[in-house]
């Protein structure tokens, strides 16, 4: 098992490395060079030169890649092409908003999804199950901006229960209740986005286990329903459920970008979108790397959990 774990972790490192190369290579995709593309037709020779200077385009590619990796590691990301601010300062200022949004969502969505999934699985084919099934199917299908807009329209505009727009910049030091009030709608939106996946996959995982012959065997030994589920089904369903959770946490990374845009939350997602519009490539690369490492990390955790939870691997012959 240890060998398998080491192999999986090494694979994660390799994947991260490949991802970093691809992100770096994005700037090399262009005909001509980045500065041409970014500054456009009207750029003077002088401004092009200073841009190239800043991006060190006169150095060979592999040197620049290694330097870039070094800068990523030390957090010295240089200045933005758009506004001459330090990239690391900008990221630092906004990261908290994003992390807080994602973390609070995970805190609510994960237990809720597992609970709903378990209920659906235990009451399989009942009206409760069918209701959950249709409901989750709808939430999987709809875009985040629909949920967000609908929630704002109903709760904030029509019912006036919530503020439609909060001043998120002030929230860095706001007290807990204020934070919750301001973030309630974004969290709800994001929760709906990930909840449905997790619920359905939890249900499937538990049902797969519940249809195994060993479950029938336990029933025929006279085990009660709770004993069948807790002692026989859960140990075998934990791995797939943990896997589902980790995959959905990875999915939060994508969801956060759109939700931040809906509610105009100054987080990493909005910063990245703005940077794409201004073609501030160094900033996009830095944030992109951050998102990808998180994503790869969660996928790695999912696989590691699956390996650890497998009795065949935990107790070799």
Partner 1 sequence: MSAVIDIQDLWVEARSSGGSFQPIVEGVTVSVYPGEVVALIGESGSGKTTTALSAMAYSKPGCRIVGGSITLNGRDLLKLDQEERRQLRGREAAYVAQSAAAAFNPAIRVGDQVIESTAIHQLMPRDDALREAVKLYQRLDLPDPERLSSRYPHQVSGGQLQRLMAAMAMSSSPALLILDEPTTALDVTTQISVLSAFKDLIRGQNTAAIYVTHDLAVVAQIADRIVVMQNGKVMEAGATEQIISRPENAYTQTLMAAVRPPPKSISVEGEGSDQTDDETIVSVDSITAGYGRTETKIVLQDVSVAVPRGKVVGVIGESGCGKSTLARVIAGLLPQRSGEIYHHGQALPHVARRRTRSVLKNIQIVFQMPDVAINPRHRVREILGRPLDLFIGLSASARESRIDELLELVELPTSYKTRLPGELSGGEKQRINLARALAAEPEVILCDEVTSALDTVVGKAIIDLLKKLQANLGVAYLFISHDLSTVASFADHVVVLYAGRVVEQGPLASVLAPPFHPYTRLLLNSVPELRTDWLDGVVASKAHLDHLGQAVDSSKVGCPFFNRCAVAVNDVCNRRDVPLRQMAQGHTVACHLELDALRE
Partner 2 sequence: MSAASQVPSGADLKTRFTPSLIIGLVIVGFWLLVALFGPALAPHLESDIVTDMSYAPAGEVGLLGSDYLGRDVFSRLLYGARMTMGLALLVTLLSFSLGVILGFIAAISGRWIDGLMSRINDALMAFPSIILALIVMSALGTSLMIMIATVAIIDSTRVFRLSRALAMDISVMDFVDVARSRGESLWWITVREILPNTLAPLAAEFGIRFTFAILFISALSFLGLGVQPPAADWGVMVKENLQGLLFGSAAALMPAASVASLTVGVNLIVDWFLSRLGGDVSQELMN
Q: Is 143 in the site for partner 2 (CB under 8 A)?
A: yes
Q: Which CB sits closer to partner 1, 193 or 229? A: 229
SS3 content of the chain, % helix, strand, coil (to 5): 80, 0, 20
Q: Are 207 and 129 in contact (CB under 8 A)?
A: no
Listing DSSP states for 114-183 in one string gives HHHHHHHHHTTTSHHHHHHHHHHHHHHHS-HHHHHHHHIIIIIIIS--S-SS--GGGGGG--HHHHHHHH
Interacting residue with partner 2 among 285, 303, 305, 309 (CB under 8 A): 285
CA neighbor of 67 nearest in space, from 271, 282, 287? 282
Count of residues near partner 1 by CB under 8 A: 22
The one segment of 88-96, 188-196, 293-301, 308-316 that binds partner 1 by CB under 8 A: 308-316
Restricting to residues 9-68, name those near partner 2 by CB under 8 A.
15, 18-19, 22-23, 26-27, 29-30, 34, 37
Restricting to residues 211-240, name those near partner 1 by CB under 8 A.
211-214, 216-224, 227, 231-232, 235-236
Listing DSSP states for 28-59 in one string gives GSSSS-HHHHHH-TT--HHHHHHHHHHHTTTS
CA distance 259 to 244: 21
CA distance 16 to 22: 10
Handedness of CA 171, 173, 174, 175 (dihedral sign): positive
Mapped onto helix, strand or coil, the DSSP state of residue 85 is coil
Contacted by 190, from partner 1, partner 2, none: CB < 5 to 8 Å by type: none
Q: Is 2 in the site for partner 2 (CB under 8 A)?
A: no
Contacted by 42, from partner 2, partner 1, none: CB < 5 to 8 Å by type: none
Listing DSSP states for 194-247 in one string gives HHHHHHHHHHHHHHHHHTSHHHHHHHHTT--HHHIIIIIIHHHHHHHHHHHHHH
User: How far apart are CB 90 and partner 1 at their closest, in Å?
Assistant: 48
Q: Is 261 in the site for partner 2 (CB under 8 A)?
A: yes
Contacted by 69, from partner 1, partner 2, none: CB < 5 to 8 Å by type: none
Mapped onto helix, strand or coil, the DSSP state of residue 79 is strand
Count of residues near partner 2 by CB under 8 A: 61
User: How far apart are CB 173 and partner 2 at their closest, in Å?
Assistant: 26
Q: Is 206 in the site for partner 2 (CB under 8 A)?
A: no
Q: Is 309 in the site for partner 2 (CB under 8 A)?
A: no
Which residue ranges make up the site for partner 2 (CB under 8 A)?
Answer: 15, 18-19, 22-23, 26-27, 29-30, 34, 37, 134, 136-138, 140-146, 149-150, 152-153, 156-158, 164-165, 196-197, 200-201, 204, 247, 250-251, 253-254, 257-258, 261-262, 272-273, 275-277, 279-281, 284-285, 288, 291-292, 295-296, 299
Contacting positions for partner 1 (CB under 8 A): 211-214, 216-224, 227, 231-232, 235-236, 311-312, 315, 317
């Amino acid at each position: 098992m240890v060998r398998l774990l080491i192999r999986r972790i090494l694979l994660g490192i390799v994947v991260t490395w490949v991802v970093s190369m691809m992100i770096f290579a994005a700037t090399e995709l262009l005909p001509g060079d980045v500065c041409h593309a970014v500054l456009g037709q009207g750029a003077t020779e002088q401004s092009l030169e200073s841009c190239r200077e800043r991006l060190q385009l006169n150095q060979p590619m592999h040197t620049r890649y290694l330097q870039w990796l070094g800068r990523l590691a030390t957090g010295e990301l240089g200045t933005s092409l758009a506004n001459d601010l330090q990239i690391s300062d900008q990221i630092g200022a906004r990261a908290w908003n994003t992390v807080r949004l994602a973390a609070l969502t995970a805190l609510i969505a994960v237990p809720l999804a597992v609970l709903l999934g378990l209920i659906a699985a235990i009451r399989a084919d009942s009206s409760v199950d069918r209701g959950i099934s249709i409901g989750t199917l709808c939430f999987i299908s709809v875009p985040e901006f629909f949920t967000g807009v609908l929630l704002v329209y109903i709760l904030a505009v029509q019912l006036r229960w919530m503020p439609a727009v909060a001043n998120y910049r002030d929230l860095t030091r706001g007290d807990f209740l204020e934070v919750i009030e301001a973030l309630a709608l974004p969290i709800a939106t994001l929760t709906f986005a990930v909840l449905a996946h997790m619920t359905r996959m939890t249900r499937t995982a538990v049902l797969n286990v519940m249809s195994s012959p060993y479950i029938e065997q336990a029933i025929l030994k006279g085990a009660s329903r709770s004993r069948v589920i807790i002692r026989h089904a859960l140990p075998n369903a934990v791995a797939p459920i943990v896997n589902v959770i980790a995959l959905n946490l990875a999915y939060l990374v994508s969801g956060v970008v759109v939700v931040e845009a809906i509610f105009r939350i100054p987080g990493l997602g909005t910063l990245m979108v703005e940077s794409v519009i201004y073609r501030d490539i160094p900033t996009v690369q830095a944030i992109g790397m951050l998102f990808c490492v998180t994503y790869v990390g969660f996928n790695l955790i999912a696989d590691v959990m699956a390996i650890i939870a497998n009795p065949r691997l935990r107790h070799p012959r």
